Chains A and B, each alone.
Chain A
Amino acid sequence: MTSVVATNQTILVVGGGISGMTAALEAAETGKRVVLVERNPWLGGRTAQLYRYFPKMCHPTCGLEINLRRLKANPNIQVLTLAEVTGISGTKGDYTVTVKLTPRYVNERCTACGECAKAVSTEIPDAFNYNLGRIKAAYLPHSMAYPMRYVIDKSIIGTPEAEAARAACKYGAIDLDQQEEVISLKAGAIVWATGWKPYDAEKITPYRYGEFPNVITNVEFERLADPHGPTGGRILRPSDGREAKNIAFIQCAGSRDENHLRHCSRFCCMASLKQTHYVQEKYGDEAKSTIYYIDIRAIDRFEDFYAKVKANPNVTFIKSKVARISQDKEMNPICWGVNTEGYKRYSNTHDLVVLAVGMEPEVKGVDIPAEVMSDSSGFIMADPANAGIFGAGCATNALDVNRAVQSATAAALRAIQVVNKLARAEA
């Protein structure tokens, strides 16, 4: 059984992305007890799946590493991975939370030596790389994973493959008898930091995502550009593996659209501007980027970033939302539309189209307690009447990392106040 020490003065943080980690650390560093619940077998969330991040173009490993170091040094935080909150009852200051724990089949003795992966031949889709490639069914989710521990995929449990993996492990780290558990724990306040998910591009039918191989999404493009990604950092076309040197970015793919997501996702203009840097970095003057946009929303301090990209002669801006995409015999995607500047029609052929899909809250459709309010897009809103459960990061709004962290710090502060009040009342 997994043992968790938690009282009604514990702060529960749901979601271990950059926001959840920040909230957990801020609270723990003031001496509070924190339980951090993460659904993936690793911490870091979607930030870890970026190649670089704006505005400074640093690698996400950098920011995550600092947080992981703080985490390792802090005895007040208990991290539960492969864990999902399934129910919350009670009220502010006295919540009872049930958490479902899925087995990893690998315990803390794992040294990440990788022998088990060599012994296994079954392959599964590579979730970390948005299923762009395949990995062994005994795997390390990614090179910076925390905890740095392998996972045995449940698809091979009960097969000779799992036995082979266990036999290959010199450290006795593989435990195939682990079972799913449901545990229940106490918490005084809850920070909800379950983040976002990319909008399902297949729903934007005129763009033919899922049908045309060379129409991909911006999250997939991050993985293509990353040296740890499925192509080793080369920007290659999914259809034929050719280098993609004429790349279109389509803004507001699903966002600002009453038929899809009502809101502006806020980060995606910046993400595409950033991704033109990747193209420039890989191919120099040989490659061209074209951004199709309604308006470029490089909010506040990011204007400089935009100005620099605009000055790059290899990047073209076309003020138009592409109406539809077709494909020629070589599987080159063709963008059709009308340019708002002059109202002239165009049909432009590209090697690769990147859809700048927007953010949808991950909470959408998840059964969270009724007193947590959500807006018309499904993001959590602050509820003054309730104030025992606080949203943080992209669970509350479409935010970039910087703003997500600010929001997480604010949520931690509010949670600390709830627990402090309780402590005073009980003293």
Chain B
Amino acid sequence: MSNANQAMAARYKNNFLKEIEEQAEMGEWVKMCMQCGVCSGSCPTHFHPGWEHPPQEIFMMIRAGKREEVLTSPSMWMCTSCYNCYVRCPRKLPITHIMHGIAEYAYRLGLAPKMQPTLHLSQTFWRNCTKTGRVNEVRLTQSLYFKDGFMAGIKKGLEMKDVALGLIKAKRLNILEALGFGHKCKDQQGIQKMLAKARELEAKRKNRQVTA
């Protein structure tokens, strides 16, 4: 167990619902779920393998105190943000955002499944984009393609070659980004300051633990 995880588990002993309400973004909505099933039935990912628990079940598991199972589940990370559930929920729960809130909380505690593709993308994207204030698309793509090893990366790259060439032609992709050139924000220090401030505010709010 990570320190943060231990601390939270001790602080909310046997009251996982309260923990989610206070710690996860939009977590206060969980108790409003009436278990109708519309979200689960509307979720496109639920009709594909790899999706353990639909949102409705996640919400019930939270109430049932299944802390480990929820926080280590890949389910929240499978959400495609299609918003089907969100617009249909009869109780108007912001389901998509709750799913992301729980996912982010699990990540903060170090419980999110390692090398989960969505998590990997989020991390890579965040690091890439906050570095200069602009996304370095070539490097982002590289790190995603080569996630599963060198050969897999080459294969993927060849598959997507025509798309890449098309993007370069249309001036939507700058190949020089591979060498660290390309678009950047002017005031890069300012960006870092802004992010630091945002973290500080988030930490104050509800006394949450925040990610570095």
Contacts and interface: CB of A to CB of B under 8 A. Distances in A.
Interface string B15-29: 000000000000000
Contacts of B150: none
B57 A324 contact: no
Contact of B35 (A256, A257, A260, A340): A340
Interface residues of B, number: 19
Interface stretch (B84-92, B99-107, B169-177): B84-92
A338 B36 contact: no
Given A338-B54, A343-B56, A294 B34 contact: yes
A336 interface: yes
B143 interface: no
A337 interface: yes
Give the one of A294, A323, A340, A345 with max B CB within 10 A: A323
B92 A323 contact: no
A322 B90 CA distance: 12
A322 B41 CA distance: 7
Interface string A235-264: 000000000000000001000111110000
Interface string A293-313: 010000000000000000000
A376 B8 CA distance: 41
A343 B35 CA distance: 10
A345 B92 CA distance: 22
Contacts of B88: 206, 259, 323
B90 A323 contact: no
A319 B36 CA distance: 8
A206 B54 CA distance: 19
A323 B41 contact: yes
Nearest to A206: B88
Contact of B90 (A256, A338, A340, A343): A256
A9 interface: no
B183 to A, nearest CB: 42
- The secondary structure that dominates the A interface is loop
B90 A258 contact: yes
Interface in B33-66: 34-38, 40-42, 46-47, 53-54, 56-57
A320 B37 contact: yes
Contacts of A320: 36-37, 41
Interface string A80-114: 00000000000000000000000000000000000
A255 to B, nearest CB: 9
A294 B56 CA distance: 13
A343 B57 contact: yes
Contacts of A339: 37
B34 A343 contact: no
B91 A258 contact: yes
B197 to A, nearest CB: 36
Contact of B92 (A252, A258, A294, A322): A258
B123 to A, nearest CB: 29
B41 A343 contact: no
A32 interface: no
Contacts of A256: 34, 36, 90
Contacts of A259: 87-88, 90, 92
Nearest to A259: B90
28 contacts: A257-B90, A258-B90, A258-B91, A259-B90, A294-B34, A294-B35, A294-B36, A320-B36, A320-B37, A320-B41, A321-B37, A322-B41, A323-B38, A323-B40, A323-B42, A324-B41, A336-B41, A337-B38, A337-B41, A338-B37, A338-B54, A339-B37, A340-B36, A343-B54, A343-B56, A345-B40, A345-B46, A345-B47
The 10 closest A-B pairs by CB, nearest first: A323-B41, A337-B41, A338-B40, A257-B90, A321-B36, A320-B37, A258-B92, A343-B57, A323-B42, A294-B36
Given A252-B36, A258-B91, A258-B92, 9 more contacts: A252-B90, A256-B36, A259-B92, A294-B36, A320-B41, A322-B41, A323-B37, A337-B37, A345-B47
Interface of A: 206, 252, 256-260, 294, 319-324, 336-340, 343, 345
